[in-house]
Structure 1
Amino acid sequence: MLVEEIMHRNVHSVTPSTSIGDAIHLLKNHQIRHLPVLDGDVFVGLVTDRDLRSASPSSLDPKGLRNLLHRPVSEVMIRQVITAHPLDFFEDAARALYEHRIGCLPILEGEKLVGILTETDILRRLIEIFGVDRPSQHVEVEVEDRFGILAEVADIFGQHRTNINSVMLERSQKEDHLNIVFRVQAKDLGKIIDNIEQAGHRVLWPRTNPDPEGGV
């Protein structure tokens, strides 16, 4: 999945000379937290609600607050901004947000702003990828890490005419094993679980039997 598939294309922005007061109004009016700063068509910076809060004087200084509202956003904007390209992969953009602890990525083609991607967009897309945006049940299976194992377990769901919303794989705590997490739409999950266990796999969730290693 590419960034251009999920980014916002209609982006509210300001210029370096826009007053801080007008920027605050835009943020509140549109219920957003980030405003790209454009000089003509060129992206030159970013201003956030956090930047504006940090620049605000004490509420005990009303004169200072009035002065702040008339100052240009160029005085408080971030100039060195982490950005992304529309053809970057979704997972690389998500990693950039996480590693740099930032709330958005302006999306640029050259110096031109073509969109914005926020942490909320990432979370919403992850919810869709995990399949939890639709009615479904969580089934987690521990399997040997060997060729064809995913298809083997998925075929059991197919035999029961069960729709799989999503599949995720992660390393198991047990050596040479994987945990496969399915989100499925099943009419009779009990029979499916029985068949998975009869095939020699361990169902971690739903828990139907005591953990053989002493868990619950």
Structure 2
Amino acid sequence: MLVEEIMKEKVITLSPEETIEKALKLLHEHHIRHIPIINEENEVIGIVSDRDVRDASPSTFEKETNYEELKNPIRSIMTSPVTTVHPLDFVEEVASIFYEQEIACVPVTRDEKLVGIITEKDMLYTLIQLTGTHVQSSQIEVKVINKPGILPQVTQVFGKRKVNISSVLIYPYKPDPKYKIIVVRIQTMNPLPTIEDLKSEGYEVLWPQMPGIPT
């Protein structure tokens, strides 16, 4: 899946000379957590988060509150330089950027011009779509030998029942690197016949463990 498929194209932005007060107002009005800061050429030169603005705002608990701080330009608190991604980047690669850099938002640029934005919430929703958990389905986890060609062999068993597969994930079997776990989500609320097929073919089903069916 590409970034352009999940990014928000309508982006609330500010110029570096706008005030912290203006940023605070936009964050509340649009219920957002990040605002890219752009120059006259629509190039991203910084970014501010709700935390940046909150930290720069006067405390309501202080007896003598100095609201003049809100008149300071946003460039005084923005983060720069900014990590950006391209619309044709893969979402999986962007997810690693979120994790490695511990960030919650990335602007999307094309030819150095801002064209969109992706947030943690967008990434989480995309993960839900990719794993198929947003549709009525059943999850089956199969332990298999880690060897070439094993995936089509397993999915062939699912084909016998003519069930629709919502998603397929593969991850390591930690106790023994010679094995992997294939997680298949199928569009049925009764996975029992498929589980029986898998076990009759010699596969070990780790989940679900159905009563009365040997592992």
Please say whether Structure 1 and Structure 2 have the same fold, judged by a TM-score greater than 0.5: yes
* Identity score, percent: 39
TM-score when scaled to structure 1? Answer: 0.91
Q: Distance in 2 between matches of 1:132 and 1:82?
A: 30
Q: Which residue of 2 aligns with 1:14?
A: 14
Q: Distance in 1 between matches of 2:81 and 2:177?
A: 44
Q: Distance in 2 between matches of 1:62 and 1:137?
A: 58
Deviation of the 1:63 alpha carbon: 5.1
Instruction: Identify unmatched segments of 5+ residues in structure 2.
Output: none
User: What are the Cα deviations for residues 34-85 of structure 1, in whole angstroms up to 9, with x where unaligned?
Assistant: 1011111222111110101121233233654411222221111112211112
Q: Distance in 1 between matches of 2:211 and 2:204?
A: 10
8 Å Cα contact 2:192/2:210 also seen in 1: no
User: What are the Cα deviations for residues 89-122 of structure 1, in whole angstroms up to 9, with x where unaligned?
Assistant: 2111111111111111111223311111111111
Alignment of 1:26 with 2:20, yes or no, is: no
Q: Which residue of 2 aligns with 1:164?
A: 165
Q: Give the number of equivalent residue pairs.
A: 212
TM-score when scaled to structure 2? Answer: 0.91
Q: Distance in 1 between matches of 2:21 and 2:116?
A: 24
8 Å Cα contact 1:59/1:65 also seen in 2: no
SS of structure 1 residue aligned to 2:15: coil
- Letter of the 2:33 partner, please give it: R
Instruction: Identify unmatched segments of 5+ residues in structure 1.
Output: none
User: What are the Cα deviations for residues 188-208 of structure 1, in whole angstroms up to 9, with x where unaligned?
Assistant: 421211111111110000013
Q: Distance in 1 between matches of 2:120 and 2:4?
A: 15
SS of structure 2 residue aligned to 1:47: strand
Q: Which residue of 1 aligns with 2:44?
A: 43
Q: Distance in 2 between matches of 1:66 and 1:38?
A: 25
Q: Note the aligned Cα RMSD (angstroms).
A: 2.0
Deviation of the 1:175 alpha carbon: 3.5
Q: Distance in 1 between matches of 2:63 and 2:74?
A: 19
Deviates further, 157-166 or 51-60: 51-60
Q: Distance in 2 between matches of 1:47 and 1:102?
A: 12
SS of structure 1 residue aligned to 2:12: coil
Q: Distance in 2 between matches of 1:28 and 1:122?
A: 22
Alignment of 1:128 with 2:129, yes or no, is: yes
Deviation of the 1:146 alpha carbon: 2.5
